[in-house]
Amino acid sequence: MATSRRDKADSYTLRAHREGYPARSVYKLEEIQQQNRIVKPGDKVLDVGAAPGSWTLYTHRELLKGNGEIIAVDLNPLNLNPVPPTVTAYVGDAFSKEIREKLTSHGPFDAIISDAAPMTTGNRTVDTTRSEYLAEQVVWLAKEQLKQHGNLVIKIFQGGGQQKLLIEMRKMFSKAKTLKPKACRTDSFETYLIGLDRL
């Protein structure tokens, strides 16, 4: 993956390289997991927007501890070599009929983790609107693919839509809240919606 000057100065990026992860985003999932126990060993996990693969690799190594199953889906291929044995990867739109049929053949899932994000344009209104639409689609996918008592993590760019989604998630889960991990860049407007214990 290309490394910008901003990345080079970042201690999370250096740590990710040292620990063998393709992206610094791994430390966001680490913090979300430490506070919420989203995934446990033996779980079947769906990772939406998984490339280049840090969340997938972290889930394999540290959360499932090699025991369980991860279905990773992204528009782009994972950059993991080798792909861990618990992982089945699909390239495509996570919300397309074709991919959803594949997901259904593996599911339902104990946890759905989504770090999916749109290509950013630099226009905050456009980027936020696209991110909200992606997040809505993940909620909809969770209605279809997440087990009762399952947990959900969704990235969203902060804007008006996040409150609406949180209200929707509160109908679906025993508990729903937002969490902005410390590993998010200080100038980033992303946050995460967490749903715990699907009703």
Ligand X SMILES: C[S@@+](CC[C@H](N)C(=O)[O-])C[C@H]1O[C@@H](n2cnc3c(N)ncnc32)[C@H](O)[C@@H]1O
- List residues binding ligand X (CB under 6 A): 22-23, 25-26, 49-55, 73-76, 93-95, 115-117, 134
Nearest to ligand X of 94, 169 (CB atom): 94
Q: CB-wise, 34 or 76, nearer to ligand X?
A: 76
Q: For residue 162, give every residue at least 6 positions away whose Cβ sits within 8 Å of its Cβ, in sequence order, or none.
A: 132, 135, 156, 178, 191, 193
Residue nearest to ligand X (CB): 49
Closest approach of ligand X to the CB of residue 49, in Å: 3
CA angle 71, 72, 73 (to 5 degrees): 120
143 is a catalytic site residue: no
Would you say 46 or 51 has its CB closer to ligand X?
Answer: 51
CB of 152 to ligand X, least distance (A): 15
CB of 39 to ligand X, least distance (A): 14
Catalytic residue among 8, 44, 102, 155: 155
Distance of CA 113 to the CA centre of its chain: 4
Closer CB to ligand X, 75 or 126, in the complex = 75
Considering the complex, what minimum distance in angstroms separates the CB of residue 112 from ligand X? 13
What is the three-state SS of 2-32? CCCHHHHCCHHHHHHHHCCCCCCCHHHHHHH
CA dist 30 and 24 (Å) reads 11
* CA distances for 70 relative to 36, 39, 40, 162, angstroms: 19, 11, 12, 27
Active site residues: 155
